[in-house]
Structure 1
Amino acid sequence: MINSKKDINTLIAQLSKERTNSEAIQDEQDETIAQLREELEKQKSITERIMNHLGIAKINK
């Protein structure tokens, strides 16, 4: 139960800190996802070149 303005301000500060932390985590996750997508594209390109070199037709794009 919230009994005072001080309690409300404390809760607001906690929520603000949690939001900031959450945004930082989201930014890190977005960067990781972007890096993984880039690596996946590199691996797909390498696989395609190997398949072409071996004369194996692409099944899926």
Structure 2
Amino acid sequence: VIEMVHHFCRGQSYDNASNMAGKYSGLQAHLKKENPLIHYTPCAAHSLNLVGVNCVDNCCEEVNSFF
């Protein structure tokens, strides 16, 4: 376990994995218990990647069903 000074931390950002970002049992929830001033923001790059992957998957399905 890494010892970390929580009282200086004000923000945290992770990918959208539930073990890190979980509201009730993820790392962000545990850190929020230690310091209520810490705010969680989902990683914009990971979120955008998930949107892109979902769009490509849906477009491929539609093209295949059309032809």
State the TM-score bracket (shorter-chain normalisation): 0.3 to 0.5
Higher relative contact order (CA 8 A, sep 6+): 2
Mark the structure with the bigger radius of gyration. 1
TM-score computed with the length of structure 1 as normaliser: 0.42
Structure with the higher fraction of residues in helix conformation: 1
